[in-house]
Amino acid sequence: MAYVLKHSTNKTISKGKYYPLGASVCEGGVNFAIYSRYAHEVFLLLFDKPDGEPADIIRLENRTKYIWHTFVHGLKAGQLYGYKIKGDYNPGFGMRFNGNKLLIDPYAKALTGKFRNTDNLLLAYDRNSYAQDLSLDIRDNTGMVPKSMVIEDNFDWQDDTPPDIPFEKLIIYEVHLKGFTAHKSSGVKHSGTYLGFIEKIPYLKEIGINAVEFLPLQEFYIDDFLLDKGLTNYWGYNTIGFFAPESSYGTGAFPGSQVNEFKTLVRELHKAGIEVIMDVVYNHTGEGNELGPTICFKGIDNPTYYCLTGSHHEPYRYYMNYTGCGNSMNLANTQVIRFVMDSLRRWVEVMHVDGFRFDLASVLGREEGCFRSSASFFDAISQDPVLNRVKLIAEPWDLGTYQVGNFPVEWAEWNGRFRDTVRKFVKGDAGQLRDLGWRLTGSADLYKDDGRSAYNSVNFITCHDGFTLHDLVSSNYKHNEANLEHNHDGTNDNNSWNCGFEGETDDSNIIRLRKQLVKNHLCCLLFSCGTPMVLGGDEFLRTQKGNNNAYCQDNEISWFNWDDLNKNSDILEFFKKAVAFVRRYTILQRRKFFLGEDLDADSIPDITWYGADLGKPDWDNPESRTLCFMLDGGEEKSEIGDYRLFIILNADSNLQYVTLPLFEGGRVWHRVIDTSLHSGEDFLGVGEEVQIAPPNYYLANPRSVVVLLDKVK
């Protein structure tokens, strides 16, 4: 049954202020403010415990600029609350007010837990039929909805300052916070939590990581259809609390403890010189389409927060779905832009994060259905004194548009073209040389003309969405059966190669070839111009058993099995050496695009391209699979002075006889890397490099990467 909504409280209340939005602790009490343009009545419900009845029901009498507000005297941090809002229920015209549904505050800084949406009562589903969508659902959900929590932002930051590392110096590590330590092999005390992650910070420092890009850490909703199948929303791309840290990653030491535990994680990462980048989802919410639950925005101001569509007779019944997740937030509306900007600023100013990766960021630039690099949201970011100085990374595509290279100058982008080209080249596909040349040198064809640098390109080969690096060289096909969708989910376009056998094998030759290809991929990623992003666990061959869409697998399919660290210690060692190599030879972190010109008057261009015979590469020969280039290290200041690197990328299945450039003055080439060699010989340390004896050529083994260093004899 529904509560009779009427003012019922012994609290002292006064008018309060319309700003800031949300619940704000002030001297003498708490100010509450919530935006709703079309509401008729707004009720604030106060709770003493998460699953209890409301202790007080307060009717908000004051509205300023569509913001309803009140001040409740005597309240303190820790107070639990929610809203019920009355208004028209006319879905065909966009109105979905329902006074029976408890709503979380869009500005809630913490929630008491996850939605109890497995009860017999549904949160607010109108999913049974179109007819039920026409009638008001009178079932009350107050006991099932987590309560918003009043939070006071006192925290000992211990003089925390952001590392402020430039893009060209970053090695980004994309990682799921829980999955990093959830497995029993992690050996941490608080597994799967913010505090558990802290225990593994020394590992990140050891392997050379200086930025972590976390999968979503904002409070997210778990869909009924997943719970019905015994699965869950593991990745978290279904945000419902945009100001609140995910509660399930906290220890639960006390209500709201996840807020301070999140801050503790950021503080400790900063102490280690590691930046924090959050993957954020402002393109849609967890409320889904017209048949989805009413949790927050639908019941507060549906036509403001969402892009709506429909028929002539019912113009606003349905939701525009640029995301594939049921709805799209209306970033053309000034209140929605304000909401997103307020959220982002809180994560920077109060929670101290260093940047954001925006999921399906093309949606954020849609106005009137079309992507625009001058969209209102991008303009708002560019003029904001807090946000225009942090790292902004776009996933530059959505369900209907691919915008790699088209974002504003302040934005970096996940470079999907780098991923696709390198995957195709390493597995030996024909016709990749010309595009590979662009990708290795920062994708100037995508970023140079609009004033961006090579490091606006975030280069990656694997990410959370797809195969791990282990599975990329072990599977020709996806194996998503555990997702219970008959293996129909996930992409079929993987550009993977199993090296002759599908899945795990004991064949030593196949295992060796797979590891060789993994090393090739790591060289292409780390030695290319651009900002490298590594999928967490690839450095020791984490596997998802061929699942390329593990979004619903909160189990050993997705978790880091730390036993593999010892099993694949050779790959881990190669990765650590490769990161150290990039830091030592600074030409590999060059911010500017290569020009093919002599810029330091040593008669050697900054980059010179070669074929195997010292001639020009056979760029347009589809059968050519070998590319060589030389970098002039003198173009970038370095502790080691003048040097040159000669890199051979041989994706051919045949041995290649590669002629090497000659120099005067007693300088000769030395081998540093040859991925075809056994561990220990494949990557030589400083001072251990092997001189290449005359005549001046190198036999590049099939499917190998070779790096030579020019040194004085």
- Residue 712's nearest CA partner among 628, 644, 631 is 644
User: Residue 342 has which token pair?
Assistant: 């307020």
pLDDT at 276: 98
Checking if the pLDDT of 210 tops 50, the result is yes
State how beta strands 412-414 and 391-394 pair: parallel
CB contact at 8 A, 277 and 356 = yes
Asked if the model's pLDDT at residue 477 lies above 50, the reply is yes
138 confidence band (pLDDT: 50, 70, 90): confident
**Predicted confidence (pLDDT) at residue 636 exceeds the cutoff of 80:** no
Report yes or no: 467 and 545 within 8 Å, Cβ to Cβ. no
> Does the annotation mark 41 as catalytic?
no
User: 257-274 pLDDT, tens per residue?
Assistant: 999 999 999 999 999 999
pLDDT of residue 399: 84
How do residues 424-456 score in pLDDT, each as one tens digit?
A: 999 999 999 999 999 999 999 999 888 899 999
Among 220-224, 297-301, 540-544, the minimum mean pLDDT is found in: 220-224
The residue to which tokens 């009140």 are assigned: 70
d(CA 81, CA 149): 6
Say how far apart CA 368 and CA 685 lie, in whole Å.
Answer: 56
| Radius of gyration of the CA atoms of the chain, in A | 28
pLDDT above 50 (res 459): yes
Who wins on pLDDT, 640 or 44?
A: 44
Identified catalytic residue from 301, 395, 538, 710: 395
Average predicted confidence (pLDDT) for the chain? 94
**pLDDT tens digits for range 148-195:** 999 999 999 999 999 999 999 999 999 999 999 999 999 999 999 999
CA distance 365 to 374: 8
Strands 391-394 and 355-358: parallel
The pLDDT tens digits for 194-204 are 999 999 999 99
What domains lie within the chain, and their CATH numbers? Answer: 593-712 (2.60.40.1180)
Say how far apart CA 194 and CA 263 lie, in whole Å. Answer: 9
> Does 54 have pLDDT greater than 90?
yes
**Selected catalytic residue, list 174, 213, 359, 636:** 359
pLDDT of residue 536: 98
Cβ count within 10 A of residue 656: 21
For residue 709, give the amino acid letter. Answer: L
Residue 117 pLDDT: 61
Task: Average the pLDDT over each of 134-138, 284-288, 542-546 and give the range with the smallest value.
Answer: 134-138
- What mean pLDDT is predicted for residues 649-657? 97
Nearest to 54 by CA among 124, 102, 117: 102
Decide which of 78 and 696 is more confident. Answer: 78
Q: How many angstroms separate the CA atoms of 119 and 133, rounded?
A: 21
Helix H segments across 527-668? 563-567, 569-584
Name the strand (E) or helix (H) holding 617: none
**Which strand ranges, in their side-by-side order, compose the sheet holding 690-691?**
607-610, 626-632, 644-650, 704-712, 667-674, 690-691
Could you tell me whether strands 29-35 and 239-245 are parallel, antiparallel, or unpaired per DSSP bridges? Answer: unpaired
Q: Is the omega angle on the peptide bond into residue 54 within 30 degrees of 0, that is, cis? A: no
Residue 123 has pLDDT above 60, yes or no: no
Mean pLDDT to the nearest integer, 562-576: 97
Confirm whether 290 is a catalytic residue.
no
Peptide bond just before 408 cis, omega within 30 deg: no
At residue 383, the 3 state secondary structure works out as helix
**pLDDT digit string (tens) for 6-26?**
888 889 999 999 999 999 999
Name which of 347-351, 403-407, 554-558, 665-669 the model is least confident about. Answer: 665-669
Q: Give the separation between CA 443 and CA 373, rounded to whole angstroms.
A: 19
CA distance 239 to 228: 20
Which is it for the CA torsion 652, 656, 662, 666, positive or negative? Answer: positive
Q: Are 357 and 279 in contact (CB under 8 A)?
A: yes
Residues 124-144 have a mean pLDDT of 64
Span 297-314, average pLDDT: 96
- Here the tokens at position 368 are 């009137």
β-pairing verdict for 67-73 and 29-35: antiparallel
Six token digits for residue 215: 């999968």
DSSP β-bridge partners for residue 610: 628
Q: How distant, in Å, are the alpha carbons of 82, 526, 595, 640, 703 from that of 208?
A: 45, 12, 29, 20, 27
How high is the pLDDT of residue 552? Answer: 98
Q: Which two tokens stand for residue 44?
A: 């604030």
Instruction: Look at residue 583 and tell me whether its pLDDT is greater than 50.
Output: yes
DSSP letter assigned to residue 65: T
Report which of 333, 240, 320 is spatially closest to residue 282, judged by C-alpha positions.
Answer: 240
DSSP-assigned letters across all residues of 114-174: ---TTSSS-SS---S-HHHHHS------TTTSPPEE--------TT-------GGG--EEE
Q: What is the mean pLDDT of residues 598-608?
A: 85
Contact 426, 433 (CB under 8 A): no
Place of tokens 């990557």: 683
Is residue 344 within 8 Å of 334, Cβ to Cβ? no
Beta strands (DSSP E) in 421-573 are 457-459, 531-535
Instruction: Average the pLDDT over 678-702 and give the result.
Output: 94
Residue 684 has pLDDT above 70, yes or no: yes
Matching residue, tokens 């535990």: 261
Nearest residue to 519 (alpha-carbon basis) of 562, 575, 582, 442? 575
pLDDT class of 127 with cuts at 50, 70, 90: very low
Q: Residues 6 or more apart from 455 whose CB is under 8 A from it?
A: 166, 167, 168, 170, 412, 442, 529, 530, 531, 591
What confidence tier does 3 reach under pLDDT thresholds 50, 70, 90? low
- b/e for 280-290, b at 16 or more Cβ within 10 A? bbbbbbbbbeb
User: How large is the average pLDDT for residues 594-615?
Assistant: 89
User: What band does 121 get if pLDDT is binned at 50, 70 and 90?
Assistant: very low
Residues 165, 208 contacting (CB under 8 angstroms): no
Residue 134, pLDDT above cutoff 60:
no
Residue 133's pLDDT is 57
For residue 135, pLDDT beyond 90: no
User: Mean pLDDT throughout 482-487?
Assistant: 98
What confidence score (pLDDT) does residue 663 get?
Answer: 82
Confidence of residue 118 (pLDDT cuts 50, 70, 90): very low
The pLDDT tens digits for 492-519 are 999 999 999 999 999 999 999 999 999 9
pTM value surpassing 0.85 = yes
Question: In whole angstroms, what is the distance from residue 379 CA to residue 137 CA?
Answer: 40
At 124, is the pLDDT very low, low, confident or very high (cuts 50, 70, 90)? very low
Instruction: Name the maximum alpha-carbon separation found in the chain.
Output: 94
> Taking the mean position of all CA atoms in its chain, how far away is CA 655?
39
Res 126: pLDDT: 44
How confident is the model at residue 137, as a pLDDT?
A: 81
User: How sure is the predictor about 640, in pLDDT bands with cuts at 50, 70 and 90?
Assistant: confident
SS3 224: helix
The DSSP element (H or E) to which 644 belongs, if any, is strand 644-650
Average pLDDT of the segment spanning 628-641:
84
Contacts of 299 (CB under 8 A, 6+ apart): 85, 96, 97, 98, 101, 103, 124
pLDDT at 600: 76
pLDDT in tens, 64-98: 999 999 999 999 999 999 999 999 999 999 999 99
Instruction: In whole angstroms, give the CA distance from residue 42 to residue 508.
Output: 68
